[in-house]
Structure 1
Amino acid sequence: MTLTIHDKIISDRGSKYAVSGGPAATRAEAAALLAELRRNKRFAKATHNTWAAILSGEGVKDDDGESGAAQIILQMLERAELHDHVIIVTRWYGGKHLGGDRFRHVVDAVRHYLEQRR
């Protein structure tokens, strides 16, 4: 399995974002990619590692405390018709609430990942 990481792509009011992902055909493979990411101490200490994937036609997701963010990732995967691939958006909370801007940052992070895959 190959995990691709794009770190420090967004910064807003102290919060920092990264986006990662890789091919995964099963929940176990998705979990393995997430475990690989968390082996990096920086990512293990992140506030949220929100992820989503379409595995064998079924959407799976985990907000990891960032309520609603995984649904955004899943919708973007569906629009991009990217199946058997997991995308993880990581956030390090900077001390100030971002409100709705946090969703815009998730969209921007996923868009960045998808553009880099081309």
Structure 2
Amino acid sequence: MRQLNRLGVVLSDRGSRYAVSGARVVSREDIDAVLAELKRDRAYAKATHNTWAAVLPSGALKADDGEGGAGMVILRMMEREGMTDHVVIVTRWYGGKKLGGDRFRRVQDAVRAYFEHQSGSL
């Protein structure tokens, strides 16, 4: 059974809030199940974006969920970290102000928080 690690809201910027979650996965079906589990929580289901990336035995997958380019940011960080068989999901609740390029820095900050949590739980 997959365990969804939900860190909750890890940072805010100009009203937007970012949360990060993840789980061990080995297939697209696992990813879909993790996303479904996350979205059972009404707050995550209503989030503006649930961007994710995964590195599986069969290759890498990513989805921006409307936050153009954010899935690639997560994927590149996972590849650099050497994290495989895992999905990392960055959730954003839009706060009313555009962040421009800072939105990618916030995605990076959220993913870093997840990596730190993972290394601390080993």
- TM-score tier, shorter chain, comes to over 0.9
CA root-mean-square deviation: 0.6
Q: CA deviation at 1:69?
A: 0.2
Q: C-alpha offsets along residues 47-99 of structure 1, whole Å, 9 cap, x if unaligned?
A: 00000001115110000000000000000110111111000000000010000
Residue matched to 1:94:
95
Give SS of 1:98's match: coil
TM-score with structure 1 length normalisation?
A: 0.98
Further displaced range: 49-58 or 86-95: 49-58
Structure 2 residue runs without a partner (length 5+): none
Q: C-alpha offsets along residues 27-54 of structure 1, whole Å, 9 cap, x if unaligned?
A: 0001100110000001000000000001
Structure 1 residue runs without a partner (length 5+): none
Matches within 5 A, 1:41-60: 41-60=42-61
Residue matched to 1:38:
39
TM-score with structure 2 length normalisation?
A: 0.95
* Partner Cα separation in structure 2 for residue 8 and residue 20 of structure 1: 10
Matched, 1:5 2:6: yes
Give SS of 2:11's match: strand
Q: Which amino acid aligns with 1:94?
A: G
Which runs of structure 1 show a deviation greater than 2 angstroms over 4 or more consecutive aligned residues? none
